[in-house]
Amino acid sequence: MTSQQFEKMVTEALHKGTHKAAEEMQEKNWKCILKKIEETEKERKAAKGLFRNRIVGISAAAAVLVLALGSFTQPGQAALDKIRKYFAPEKIVEFEVEGDKENIHSRLQQGEIGYVIYYDEERYKIVEDGKVDRLVMKESVEGLPEVYMEISQDTDNSPEDLAEKLEAELRGEFSRVDEAIEVTDPLKAIYIHAIDGGTRGDDPIVNYYLIDNTQGGTFIIKQKYFLEAAEGHGSRFYQMLKEFTIIPAE
């Protein structure tokens, strides 16, 4: 995407000044804007010798933007505010856990494999290895069963193909494996749920969400926790997945 195309996209979305435009920017165009910010940051670091010229250019662009925003309607300003909200490295996300609503201070995680998600940074941290990103508890408790949510990507297999394979694997390890189903909440995916036992508090639970990566492959989200933690960690993982968004490759 060229700078001219980027600027035209933002201008058109803001000038529409409607709720629909804001939603479209939220769901589709903001991914491209994030990409542009990354590119601009790389250019800035690579052009320290041209610092003075870049400041002049940025100042001129900012002045034009301020003048343009001055003529926007209130809905147009609302659209801009929504864009700014999505750029935030941190934001407050409302969670519903154990029947109670909480405002959770959440941090943006931008995975190298092509996604973003906001996560509860008070309770969890992200461990990355370049292929799998794993969300784990900040403070481990001795004797407590495993609790994590991990995100990876299979670029060669569709969600349908993986569902059949994973379902078969789970049946060899868990006493109850529900048939894979399509869901739209907390996100659009193929969902598989498995539990071993189901009567003891420490009985393990595994959930898979298989998401079409729009390029012939699949984002694989695996959650693992235990029965007693279903309304705690399980609910928090569920809420965090509502903030999951794929960033398509350009």
CA gap 102, 29 in Å, rounded? 29
DSSP notation for 139-153: S--TTPPP-EEEEEE
Q: Among 186, 192, 155, which residue's Cα sits nearest to residue 173?
A: 192
Rg (CA), the chain: 21
Burial of 20 (0-12, 13-18, 19+ CB in 10 A): exposed
CA gap 8, 10 in Å, rounded? 6
Say if CB 222 and CB 149 are below 8 A apart. yes
CATH 3.40.1000.10 range(s) for the chain read: 106-246
- What is the pTM assigned to this prediction? 0.67
Q: Which of the following CATH numbers is that of domain 106-246: 3.40.50.2300, 3.40.50.150, 3.20.20.70, 3.40.1000.10?
A: 3.40.1000.10
**Ramachandran sector of residue 130 (left: φ over 0; alpha: ψ -120 to 50; beta: rest):** left
pLDDT in tens, the chain (250 residues): 444 554 455 445 444 443 444 444 444 445 555 555 555 556 555 655 554 444 344 344 433 344 344 444 554 555 445 445 555 888 888 887 767 788 988 999 988 888 889 999 999 999 998 899 999 999 888 888 999 999 999 999 999 999 999 999 999 999 999 999 999 999 999 999 999 999 999 999 999 999 999 999 999 999 999 999 998 999 999 999 999 988 766 5
